Chains A and B, each alone.
Chain A
């Protein structure tokens, strides 16, 4: 996987994201920021969803569904490498 992509993502604590590769900026909500932070750290979807369910008032299954969809979406907008594991493997 191309981890270099993550080096160009400057994500601040309050959810402001600057993509130095494209110059685009984004705002993430708290859970969105947590997921991207974890991806940048190198965590996989199962771990990410597990941590969400620990911190937030959300069932583990919903957390996994939502983070899977979210990671997919990050791929479609080219913030996350296409070959990033989005958790579907874990379901198979």
Chain B
């Protein structure tokens, strides 16, 4: 007789007065494959945990976004936000799709150059740009967005030394009707500081103000904030052109569109409720088109979209290490990837899919990482079928910010893999080793390495 499929015994108490919201179908599906490639095969080759990126999804995302904006506004430029994910293979795909590079440090600038991006297709942002990096960026013709008065004076001094005019944009902060209202970067619009900075540039007589830039925040779920932002930047551009005669060629609205992930405080899943990029494209384009620019002087709309383009293209596959019952009866599962690897766990409720189909009863579960730290919680609560040590789980979407903000802490950073359009699988970053990490250190000669032996 054929034996029945086994499932770990489980019992769930019904909550008082409520209809039973537990039971069989909780929409927990399995994820045996990514882009038709078996996840367990990838783990066998590259180990666990492992980040997996999909070239197909990256290209689909950027083409979709370019289409959304391109259909509504005639002059659009995307610049890939390096900090969101600066793995060369990932940047390479965005550049191949026509994106410029948006960088916020001299290191990211180096990365862009080494990815073949010429300086004049780099947007250089950020509150700290060392003098030499400004010199280089000005020589290269990069688009520098000035963050504060001291930087403006630095740029003017460099230009004078070079004996020629320079061009630069201004980073603006403004009230787009959302909270928090970021006011620490750039010059404030509402209190007149931004216009004053433009006047100051005019008086200096050596810098040509050619662009306005603002990044109002990240994971902004309300498209109307961008309407406010675009309208305010457009009005400022028109005022500057009129009063000072500068030609504002670019209006750069930064990044900040949400991905299809779900924030901890969000009620419904991001996949269902986060506005699509079309909603943002619509309000931004119409704000710029109706702002009063003459058609022949319509500025180029620059987008530094990060998260929304890469998040859904990244997966993390991790292994179950153990099951536990907490003292209060809650079921806990420990996996081999912690918050040092999956930094976005602090913000997101990632989807968790068993690689192998589990059609058993689901139970409220907390997922812990392997670190010996109380904060190492990957999902404080989700409904998961029973799993065993060695079972694989896929966490998604994890493509944004994790492979830049990850920490080597207790455990090393894992391998990163890309699945190509034709199903090729290639490692794009090796897993780190103790050897790699310790290469940076040295022990002074006066420190004896006696391994704990008594004196």
Chain A positions near chain B (C-beta within 8 angstroms): 17, 24-32, 34-36, 52, 55-58, 66-67, 69-70, 73-74, 76-77, 79
Residues of B contacting A29 in the complex (Cβ-Cβ under 8 angstroms): 7-11, 360-361
Give chain B residues whose Cβ lies under 8 Å from the Cβ of A26: 11-14
Query: Separation in Å of the A40 CB from the closest CB of chain B?
Result: 14
Residues from chain B with a CB closer than 8 A to the CB of A66 are 8-9
| A24–B7 alpha-carbon span in the complex (Å) | 24
Q: Is the CB of B9 within 8 A of A55?
A: no
Contacting residues, chain B, for A34 (C-beta < 8 A): 9
Complex Cα distance, B325 from A69, in Å, reads 9
CB neighbors of A among B3-55 (8 A): 3-14, 20, 22-23
Q: Scoring B residues 387 to 419 as 1 if CB is less than 8 Å from chain A, else 0, what string do you get?
A: 000000000000000000000000000000000
Q: Are B8 and A57 in contact (CB under 8 A)?
A: no
Contacts of B9 in A (CB 8 A): 28-29, 31-32, 34-35, 66-67, 70
Closest to B4 in A: A56
Contact, CB under 8 Å: B329 / A27: no
Q: How far is the CA of A56 from the CA of B325 in the complex (A)?
A: 24
Interface pair B11/A31, CB less than 8 Å apart: no
The secondary structure that dominates the B interface is: loop
Residues A28 and B7 in contact, CB atoms below 8 Å apart: no
**CA A6 to CA B363, docked complex, whole Å:** 24
Count contacts between A and B, CB distance < 8 Å: 72
A79 to B11 Cα, complex, angstroms: 11
List the 5 closest pairs (A to B, CB-CB), nearest first.
Answer: A32-B9, A56-B6, A29-B361, A58-B6, A70-B9
Select one of A25, A35, A57, A74 contacting B4, CB under 8 A: A57
Q: A66-B8, A70-B9, A77-B329 are in contact. List 6 more A-B contacts (CB 8 A).
A: A27-B11, A27-B23, A29-B9, A29-B11, A35-B9, A36-B11
Bound state CA distance, A32 and B361, in angstroms? Answer: 10
Complex Cα–Cα for A69 and B9 (A): 9
Cβ–Cβ < 8 Å partners of B22 in chain A: 27
In the complex, the answer to whether B329 meets A57 with C-beta atoms within 8 Å is no
Most buried by B among A28, A31, A35: A31
Complex Cα spacing A15 to B431, Å: 46
Does A31 lie within 8 Å of B7, measured CB to CB? Answer: yes
Interface flags, B329-360, vs A, CB<8A=1, else 0: 10000000000000000000000000000001
Q: Are B12 and A57 in contact (CB under 8 A)?
A: no
